């Protein structure tokens, strides 16, 4: 049984084994010290899959699970400079846990800054976020050797998309909803090989960008994946049109994201790809929530449940793109 978190447990660690969270923090402290940093003077940054601390001129990111970061570091070093990713100062592995140290750069996490931005600034931020990450799409011929054809929320094959079955059981989906779920996922895998494959960020969230009156950097390419550009487009639209609690938001930023998606989607297969990618994205979130929450917290109003069923019933936040 997982021990109860202590009262002073950081909110990002509240669903983790406290001993494992402490171990990762200890690793981060050791790594920070190698690069002249003191974790006690650094602040914890947003992020779920890794633990990140920023301050003392550096940012230290340590994987929660025993995985390496060598592939991500190689990709980052090859990215176009216009993406703005901070310079990597070092990377390695401690007790199987990969870590990366980058130079600290000026800017606020875009997700944290978002509520303070004007409507015009939010619209500008969405456009600039896309412009920066689109440099990676355009550079795919030189970057593709650094990424796999699956990862993050994109399984390798239809047969690997087992979260669809878990979702049907966990959410008690009706027969028609189950059929629709499987049809949309199958549609994605049928169309994906028919379009150009590009290097996607794979986790294009507001929290993976920095804002300083402008989007100054795109961060954390750990889930970079080779596939249809709709992988990044579905996340861009979701970030701009869905609130933290899963409510659809009509805004200038959302309109900008829809415009970008309509322009960059494949003219024939785009709707099937962006719909399927969005479903796969929510299935990944569903798996995360199922692993950390107690059953009485899995209410009808629960964010992944609502987003997933909306995408199945009325095409959800993607409705303007799907007709």
Residue 295: per-residue pLDDT:
45
pLDDT in tens, 120-174: 999 999 999 999 999 999 999 999 999 998 888 899 888 888 777 777 777 788 8
Residue 244: per-residue pLDDT:
84
For residue 115, is pLDDT > 90? yes
Confidence of residue 8 (pLDDT cuts 50, 70, 90): low
> Hey, what are 214's tokens?
């402008």
Question: In the chain, pLDDT over 70 holds for what percent of residues?
Answer: 93
For residue 203, is pLDDT > 60? yes
Q: Annotate 96-165 with DSSP letters as a single string.
A: TEEEEEEE--S-EEHHHHGGGS-HHHHHHHHHHHHHHHHHHHHTHHHHGGGSBS-BTTB-SSGGG-THHH
Indicate whether this model's pTM tops 0.85: yes
pLDDT in tens, 62-90: 998 888 899 999 999 999 999 999 999 99
Average pLDDT score over residue span 34-42: 97
């Amino acid at each position: 049984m997982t021990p109860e978190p202590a009262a002073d447990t950081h909110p990002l660690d509240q669903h983790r084994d406290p001993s494992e969270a402490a171990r990762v923090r200890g690793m981060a402290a050791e790594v920070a010290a190698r690069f002249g940093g003191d974790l006690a003077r650094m602040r914890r940054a947003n992020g779920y899959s890794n633990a990140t601390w920023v301050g003392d001129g550096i940012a230290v990111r340590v994987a929660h699970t025993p995985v390496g970061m060598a592939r991500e570091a190689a990709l980052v070093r090859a990215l176009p400079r216009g993406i703005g990713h901070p310079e990597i100062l070092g990377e390695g592995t401690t007790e199987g846990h990969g870590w990366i140290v980058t130079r600290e750069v000026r800017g606020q996490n875009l997700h944290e800054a978002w509520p303070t931005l004007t409507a015009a600034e939010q619209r500008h931020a969405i456009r600039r976020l896309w412009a920066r990450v689109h440099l990676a799409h355009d550079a795919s011929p030189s970057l593709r050797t650094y990424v796999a054809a699956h990862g993050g929320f994109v399984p390798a094959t239809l047969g690997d998309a087992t979260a669809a079955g878990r979702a049907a059981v966990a959410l008690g989906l009706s027969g028609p909803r189950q059929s629709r779920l499987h049809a949309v996922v199958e549609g994605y895998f049928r169309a994906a090989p028919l379009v150009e494959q590009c290097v996607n960020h794979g986790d294009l969230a507001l929290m993976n960008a920095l804002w300083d009156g402008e989007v100054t950097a795109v961060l954390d390419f750990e889930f970079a994946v080779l596939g249809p550009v709709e992988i990044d487009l579905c996340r861009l639209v979701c970030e701009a049109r869905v609130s933290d609690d899963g409510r659809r938001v009509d805004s200038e930023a959302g309109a900008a994201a829809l415009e970008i998606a309509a322009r960059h989607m494949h003219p024939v297969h785009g709707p099937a790809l962006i719909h399927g990618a969005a479903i796969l994205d929510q299935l990944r979130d569903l798996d995360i929530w199922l692993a950390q929450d107690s059953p009485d917290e899995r209410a009808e109003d629960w964010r992944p449940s609502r987003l997933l069923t909306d995408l199945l019933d009325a095409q959800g936040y993607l409705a303007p793109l799907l007709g």
